[in-house]
Amino acid sequence: MAVKKKKIGAAGRFGAGYGKVKNKLIAVERKQRVKQECPFCKGRAKRDGKSIWLCVKCGKNFAGGAFHLKTQITKNN
């Protein structure tokens, strides 16, 4: 009979012994995997590189946060 395992997210690849580091990484990866919205046409934006985003709908390249489009600084402005 199969044993039910605890859901640990994408950072489960590190195994035990990486408590704080694993929790920070889980938070970053969870934000990164959320669908991002293009600020120009409200289409879907994908991460092209570090802080570089590409809109799938309109094809524009623009800068944003490293892991997710809306950073704390851009939310305030």
pLDDT tens sequence across 35-61: 889 989 999 999 888 889 999 999 999
Give CA–CA dist 22/8, Å, rounded.
10
Q: What is the pLDDT of residues 2-32, one digit of tens each?
A: 777 766 667 777 777 677 888 888 888 887 7
Residue type at position 76: N
Q: Give the containing element (helix H, strand E) for 26.
A: helix 19-32
CA-to-CA distance for 36 and 16, rounded, in angstroms? Answer: 31
Please report the domains of the chain, with CATH numbers, ordered by start residue: 37-77 (2.20.25.30)
pTM (2 d.p.): 0.62
